[in-house]
Structure 1
Amino acid sequence: MAHVEPAHLVELALRNATPTDADAEALRHVEECERCRDELRVLLRVVTAARTAHLVDLPAAPPEHVWRVISRDISHDTAPPRPPSHVRDRGKRALLALLAAAVTAVTGLAARWSRHQRSKSG
């Protein structure tokens, strides 16, 4: 089996969806592949840190440029996405923004590392 795609590793780390057969197959690969196991371990640490952060851990909401980076990396659009409207607490929106930024950054790094590894072996 090929390495697990970075986006799939992010989904596994977030654990938001009901596990599928593809998830089970990916986890079997992760058990045997040091590279994928390390990537998933890093993502799990980021998700855990973001989910266990307290409002006092964030002195202020993330700056506007964070939303621009997320927007650029995800949609290649210049308009920043809006924080989720269903979350009324500004602190919770800030935590969600921090989590989104962290996952986006880790996914981008994993994708770049994966491309680098393929170019070295190809």
Structure 2
Amino acid sequence: MAHVEPAHLVELALRNAAPTEADTAALRHVEQCARCGDELRMLTRVVAAARTAQLVDLPTAPPDRVWQRISRGLSPETDTHGPPPHHPDHWKRALLALLALATAVGAAVVHRRLHERSR
């Protein structure tokens, strides 16, 4: 039995696109496989938490160097002397969601590797 790839589980948890035949097959597998079901439930919880996160949920404001790296990554000509003057809340939420998703994917990979080693 082939398990659902972690990237596909992330896509299923995000639910950003219309379901495909591959998604339907993956969900059928998830219904029967405890391992994939657990991973999808965990990722779905992380996505839900990230989507409802507020800036005040962060323990502290990110340091200026974080904004500088983001600015450099987006545009080489961007002035990187501090945080951007004002970003709509959806950009902040998107950043929080990406950070949470990266954490979830990392946790899922570690979980899977530990589970495979215990066999």
TM-score computed with the length of structure 1 as normaliser: 0.69
- Which residue among 81, 96, 99 is the counterpart of 2:97? 99
Work out the CA distance in 1 between the residues paired with 2:38 and 2:53. 23
Q: Structure 1 residue 34: deviation in Å? A: 1.2
* Structure 1 residues 24-62: Cα deviation after superposition (integer angstroms, max 9, x where no partner): 111001101111111111111111122223455457665
Give the Cα–Cα distance (whole angstroms) in 1 for the partners of residues 16 and 56 of structure 2: 25
- Going from structure 1 to structure 2, the CA distance change for 1:33 and 1:81 (only over 3 Å counts) comes to farther
2:14–2:47: 8 Å Cα contact kept in structure 1?
Answer: yes
Q: What is the rounded CA distance, in whole Å, between the counterparts of 2:4 and 2:62 in structure 1?
A: 30
Number of paired residues? Answer: 107
Q: Which runs of 4+ in 1 moved over 6 A?
A: none
Counterpart contact for 1:55–1:92, Cα < 8 Å: no
Superposition RMSD on alpha carbons, in Å? 3.1
Corresponding residue of 1:111: 109
Check whether the contact 1:14–1:47 (CA below 8 A) recurs between aligned residues.
yes
The percent of aligned pairs where both chains have the same amino acid is 54
Task: Name the SS of the counterpart of 2:118 in structure 1.
Answer: helix
Q: TM-score, normalised by structure 2?
A: 0.70
SS where residue 16 of structure 1 aligns?
Answer: coil
Taking the TM superposition and a 5 Å limit, the aligned residue runs for 1:65-84 are 81-82=73-74
Distance 1:30 1:62 in 2: 37
Instruction: Mark the CA change 1:65 to 1:113 in structure 2 (over 3 Å): closer, same or farther.
Output: farther
Q: Answer whether contact 2:53 2:96 (CA < 8 A) is retained.
A: no
Q: Which runs of 5+ in 1 are unaligned?
A: 72-78, 83-87
1:113 CA displacement: 1.9
Distance 1:42 1:62, change over 3 A: farther
Q: What corresponds to 1:3 in structure 2?
A: 3
